[in-house]
Amino acid sequence: MIVILKHNPDPGQLGGLLDWLREKGVTVHTSVGEANTILGLVGDTSRLDIDLIAALEIVEDVKRVQEPYKNANRKFHPEDTVVRVGDTQIGGGSLTVMAGPCSVESEEQVVTIAKAVKASGATMLRGGAFKPRTSPYAFQGLGETGLAYLRAAKEETGLPIVTELMDLSQLPLFQDVDVIQIGARNMQNFDLLKAVGHQEKPVMIKRGMSATYEEWLMSAEYVMAGGNENVILCERGIRTFESYTRNTTDLAAVPVLRRLTHLPIIVDPSHATGKSWLVEPLAMGAVAMGADGLLIEVHNNPSHALCDGPQSLRPEDFDHLAKKLLPLHSFVAGMEG
């Protein structure tokens, strides 16, 4: 349920309403906007008399929210969420570019790539230390050592790090990580979602391969219900009958999510297509759709990459793409503004 308050509500009456709601066992999230303040009520609101609340002097309107996700719902929080990471921000009109190798392979590799992508305009460094691989015989990532190499690259370049957390036990190793990635395969690992909801680092949730928008938003809801509101969503393609591309890129996710939620939206054209030559057109399409950012795999030697070489851009290809992204983003922002 959402309660839309009149402008400048009487503080005494508002305090009385909040106390009464809490007595009824409901949690209240307050969203202060330019025009109105909205109270988002979470919990069992079935016993609340909607007419009684609507009749209060300070209340403009009361609506039941049908969607099962509340904290992630734009109705609860009409203004876009902006996630701040170091000196950079995700959402709020900026274009975030997360770039780096699929897997961290050596310190030299990740530092070299980090320097190159930073020079081209990337705002964050991505790289997997713990890798979810379909085959148990494939390279599984360097683990804790990989995190140390990412840290070295962050020290060299200043780029914040985004990397995947696969298991709860790895969380204590993530102190220097800036954004925790929950991979597609773990989108519905509810214990993992609860755990990252109880800590403060921003969390980027990749869309599960067969997840509906609602299931994906419910995963965000798990994190937010734990108290962590810094959630970012990443479209990385879904599994369909089409096998030419690794996944089918659902660019409609950008405007659909923009309507349903206030959370920032990132598109990953690398995993979404599996082919390096498709990364540029899909990245441009995502920016034209209004995405808040991109996640792009970059490798200095894709043919020798230990993971996802065929979809990785060489640093010079990334540079070429990055030079097109910023003007396109400014153009799209200008049309909207």
Which residue number places its CB atom closest to ligand PEP? 183
CA 335 – CA 337 distance, rounded (Å): 6
Instruction: Give which of 161, 292, 180 is closest to 230, Cα–Cα.
Output: 180
105 forms part of the interface with Mn ion (CB under 5 A): no
128 near ligand PEP, judged by CB under 6 A: yes
Q: Tell me: does residue 102 bind Mn ion (CB under 5 A).
A: yes
What is the x/- site pattern for ligand PEP, positions 246-285, by CB under 6 A? -------------------------x--------------
* Nearest to ligand PEP of 102, 220 (CB atom): 102
CB of 49 to Mn ion, least distance (A): 52
What are the angstrom distances between the C-alpha of 37 and each of 24, 46, 70, 83?
A: 21, 22, 16, 21
DSSP class of 208: P
Q: Does position 206 bind ligand PEP by CB under 6 A?
A: yes
Angle at 99 between CA 297 and CA 74, to 5 degrees: 105
Beta carbon nearer to ligand PEP, 4 or 292 = 292
Binds ligand PEP by CB under 6 A, chosen from 53, 85, 97, 102: 102
**Binding footprint of Mn ion, residue count (CB under 5 A):** 2
Report if residue 70 touches ligand PEP, rule: CB under 6 A. no
Q: List b or e across 129-168, with b for residues whose CB sees 16 or more CB atoms inside 10 angstroms.
A: bbbeeeeeeeebbbeeebbebbbebbebbebbbbbbbbee
The span from the CA of 40 to the CA of 179, in Å, is 27
Residue 2, SS3 per DSSP: strand
Q: Confirm if 85 and 159 have CB atoms less than 8 A apart.
A: no
Q: Which of 93, 132, 158, 227 binds ligand PEP (CB under 6 A)?
A: 132
Q: Which of Mn ion, ligand PEP, none does residue 132 bind to, with CB < 5 to 8 Å depending on kind?
A: ligand PEP
Beta-carbon count within 10 A of 123 CB: 21
By CB under 6 A, is residue 210 in contact with ligand PEP? Answer: no
By beta-carbon proximity to Mn ion, the closer residue of 90 and 102 is 102
Site residues (vs Mn ion, CB under 5 A): 102, 308
Site residues (vs ligand PEP, CB under 6 A): 102, 128, 132, 183-185, 206, 236, 271
